[in-house]
A and B are shown apart, each in its own frame.
Chain A
Amino acid sequence: MRTFIASFFRRNRPGRQRPIGLPRALHPHLQPGLWEAFFAALGVPVVLSAPTTRATLERAELISETEHCLPVKLLDAHLEELAGRVDRVFVPRILSLHRGFISCPKLAALPDAVRAQFRGRFEVVTADVDENRRPLEQTLAELGRALGFAPAESAAAARQALAAAAPPAAPPADSGRRRYLLIGHPYNLADAYLADPIVRKLEELGVAVERLPAGPPRGAPAPLRWDTSAHMLEALRARDPARCAGVIQLTSFNCGCDSMAGPYYRETLKAAGIPFMALTLDAHAALAGLDTRLEAFVESIAGRA
């Protein structure tokens, strides 16, 4: 397939720089800045979907499979918005983001699912992101060649993209007054529509809060092999109860990774004596009962101190 696409683009060299759509949902949040930088280095204009709004969420509910988790539903809505604006979108097949770890298995099927959902509406450009098999630089360079760029151009763009992409942020350090930590998969935490009301509510309640930035799991091998879950667990293990007032996990309804990893988070924080609460996101009730839960959580922590 890859050879076919490559030969197709080589034959259509002038078209290789036509715009490509990138959703502001799911995969770009896992590798912030990477894909924009890569396409920019190749001179391919990137068209981003608009940030999530209430309308996006409503649209997601209408067009997406009922059984999908909210992040995948949102991806569908963001791609649909791009459908009228570009004739190709980029959806990688993410198998592993970090060496030694694996990614949520749903991410491995995304290009296929997207092709099936949007047949005839745009072309799906894809690449296997599989750090266990080959480094990202090679993946990017191959993608460049598949898109019709010369090997040298592609390799240069790969290097530029890696240099430009946000360096993996270190887990937030415990500092200053006691803070609340908000954890969750990066695509949930980075979506302002989903996560900001929680942060705002906590600030309204007079507490300091920080979001766990996306990043690679580091240090000792974690008991969890899912990359984002392991990253969260590591951050929790590094928490100091004297500095961390409580942890709130933002989880999507139906998330398999979270349901498997949840007990690890709970046990880790219980052992450290740090209060923990999980909030579930869902397209219908994205915020139902949120105030009540956050108020009661903060109050119970204040009552204990």
Chain B
Amino acid sequence: MKNSHYLGIDVGSISANLVLIDAGAQVVFSDYRRVDGWPLRAAQSALAALRAACPQAILAGVGATGSARHLVAAALGADVVQNEISAHACAAIHVRPDVQTVIEIGGQDSKVTIVRDRVVVDFAMNLLCAAGTGSFLDAQAQRLNLTIEEFSRQAVRSARPTGIAGRCTVFAESDMIHKQQIGHRQEDIVMGLCLAMARNFLGNVCVGKEIRPPIVFQGGVSANQGMRRAFAELLNCELIVPEHHMVMGALGAALLAKRSAPAASRFRGFDVCERAIDTQAFACGDCANACEVIEIVDRGEIVGRSGGRCRKWEGRAGPR
């Protein structure tokens, strides 16, 4: 179809990313914004931005990913709901078909994905701890009273990075303060933090994984020059940071939507960005677990549900 486009939306803990691709898989629009605790609203406002920028676009398919993918998919109407590991890998393979390793560090997640012959063969994610992720860098930059951009610029200037214990946020923070008090230069401390974080990532998440180049580095943290430098030094090779490194998950979701080629998209129309889509919780009383189930409500109608260990509520729309 002429003018048919595919939308990918990736709503994670920190940011909501949206990418529109055309029939030739070229990115025609992208949007990156903070979630600030409102995943659904962030998705809606990203969609509003898309409508303002590309009013002519006809959406032939929608893909959702990220930790809020089920919520967003129910509210917006998605044809493909994909986990973020597969979505990120899909985008990296699209950009660099010869990619062997994908390092993706976002707000609360960090992952490594091993790719051979364009297929994901192994992956690992960080566990229960955000010390090696964007929120950690954010917190440390704030502590040093630097914006994350200044933080990034400072790191590159460092000539003698300070050695910092990066195993745990609490230790890193106290170690950093100690180094600051004994007179280490700020740029060295900043770069030291980046190295500590990269070491932590390689030592924890990547343990037992075969990290081979070409390595694609993506996710919010890949914008940080200090982190690029840290990985390049520790891995002894240049990392590829793709043009759309901030929105690769959304790009992957868009590519997967395009690949699935739905006969008719389930997209519920641009109007969804104006509606007051709400969520409500109820405690399921069917067993002793009393799980909290979330219902997504649009104009008085339940368009989706999630939550519950037995999974029976997943995706169920309509009355209880």
For residue B122, which residues in chain A have a CB less than 8 angstroms away from its CB? 275, 300
Question: CA–CA, A50 to B84, complex, Å?
Answer: 37
Q: Taking the complex as formed, is B270 at the interface, i.e. its CB lies under 8 A from any CB of chain A?
A: no
Interface residues of A in 184-219 (CB under 8 A from B): 193, 196-197, 200-201, 204
For residue B287, which residues in chain A have a CB less than 8 angstroms away from its CB? 53
Contact A263 B128 (CB under 8 A): no
Question: CA–CA, A204 to B81, complex, Å?
Answer: 15
Given A54-B291, A285-B128: A296 and B309 interface contact (C-beta under 8 Å): no
For residue B290, which residues in chain A have a CB less than 8 angstroms away from its CB? 53-55
For residue A55, which residues in chain B have a CB less than 8 angstroms away from its CB? 288-290
Contact B310 A200 (CB under 8 A): yes
What is the chain A residue whose CB lies nearest that of B288? A53
Report 19 cross-chain contacts, Cβ distance below 8 Å, ordered by A residue.
A53-B288, A55-B290, A200-B310, A275-B121, A282-B128, A284-B128, A292-B83, A293-B125, A295-B82, A295-B85, A296-B83, A296-B86, A296-B120, A297-B123, A299-B86, A300-B120, A300-B121, A300-B123, A303-B120
Q: Taking the complex as formed, is A166 at the interface, i.e. its CB lies under 8 A from any CB of chain B?
A: no
For residue A300, which residues in chain B have a CB less than 8 angstroms away from its CB? 86, 119-123
Question: CA–CA, A272 to B136, complex, Å?
Answer: 38
Which of B121, B128, B288, B311 touches A204 (beta carbons < 8 Å)?
A: B311
Interface residues of B in 84-114 (CB under 8 A from A): 84-86, 109
Question: CA–CA, A282 to B128, complex, Å?
Answer: 9
Q: Taking the complex as formed, is B25 at the interface, i.e. its CB lies under 8 A from any CB of chain A?
A: no
Given A54-B289, A55-B288, A193-B309: A295 and B86 interface contact (C-beta under 8 Å): yes
Contact B311 A197 (CB under 8 A): yes
Contact B86 A280 (CB under 8 A): no
Q: Taking the complex as formed, is B234 at the interface, i.e. its CB lies under 8 A from any CB of chain A?
A: no
Question: CA–CA, A204 to B122, complex, Å?
Answer: 21
Q: Taking the complex as formed, is A287 at the interface, i.e. its CB lies under 8 A from any CB of chain B?
A: yes
How many chain-A residues does the 8 Å CB contact rule pick out?
32
Question: CA–CA, A204 to B308, complex, Å?
Answer: 14
CB distance from B285 to the nearest CB of A (A): 13
Q: Which secondary structure characterizes the binding site on chain A? A: helix
Contact B83 A50 (CB under 8 A): no
Q: Taking the complex as formed, is B208 at the interface, i.e. its CB lies under 8 A from any CB of chain A?
A: yes
Among B122, B208, B309, find the residue whose CB has the most chain A CB atoms closer than 10 A.
B309
Q: Taking the complex as formed, is B146 at the interface, i.e. its CB lies under 8 A from any CB of chain A?
A: no
Contact B208 A266 (CB under 8 A): yes
For residue B289, which residues in chain A have a CB less than 8 angstroms away from its CB? 53-55, 193
Contacts between the two chains (Cβ within 8 Å), count: 71
Q: Taking the complex as formed, is B154 at the interface, i.e. its CB lies under 8 A from any CB of chain A?
A: no
Given A275-B122, A280-B127, A304-B119: A201 and B85 interface contact (C-beta under 8 Å): no
Which of A197, A200, A296 touches B85 (beta carbons < 8 Å)?
A: A296
The interface of chain B, by Cβ under 8 A from chain A, is 67, 82-86, 109, 119-123, 125, 127-128, 208, 287-291, 309-311
Q: Which secondary structure characterizes the binding site on chain B? A: loop
CB distance from B309 to the nearest CB of A (A): 5
CB distance from A24 to the nearest CB of B (A): 13
What is the chain B residue whose CB lies nearest that of A289? B125
Q: Taking the complex as formed, is A253 at the interface, i.e. its CB lies under 8 A from any CB of chain B?
A: yes
CB distance from B115 to the nearest CB of A (A): 9
CB distance from B287 to the nearest CB of A (A): 8
Contact B311 A201 (CB under 8 A): yes
Which of A50, A51, A287 touches B309 (beta carbons < 8 Å)?
A: A287
Question: CA–CA, A287 to B83, complex, Å?
Answer: 15
What is the chain A residue whose CB lies nearest that of B69? A292
CB distance from B128 to the nearest CB of A (A): 5
For residue A201, which residues in chain B have a CB less than 8 angstroms away from its CB? 311
Closest 8 CB pairs of A and B: A296-B85, A300-B120, A295-B83, A292-B83, A53-B288, A303-B119, A54-B289, A53-B289
Q: Taking the complex as formed, is A288 at the interface, i.e. its CB lies under 8 A from any CB of chain B?
A: yes
What is the chain A residue whose CB lies nearest that of B287? A53
For residue A51, which residues in chain B have a CB less than 8 angstroms away from its CB? 288
For residue B121, which residues in chain A have a CB less than 8 angstroms away from its CB? 275, 300, 304
Question: CA–CA, A245 to B151, complex, Å?
Answer: 45
Sample of 13 more A-B contacts, CB < 8 Å, known A51-B288, A197-B311, A253-B128: A54-B309, A55-B289, A196-B309, A285-B128, A289-B67, A289-B125, A292-B85, A293-B85, A295-B82, A296-B123, A299-B86, A300-B120, A300-B123
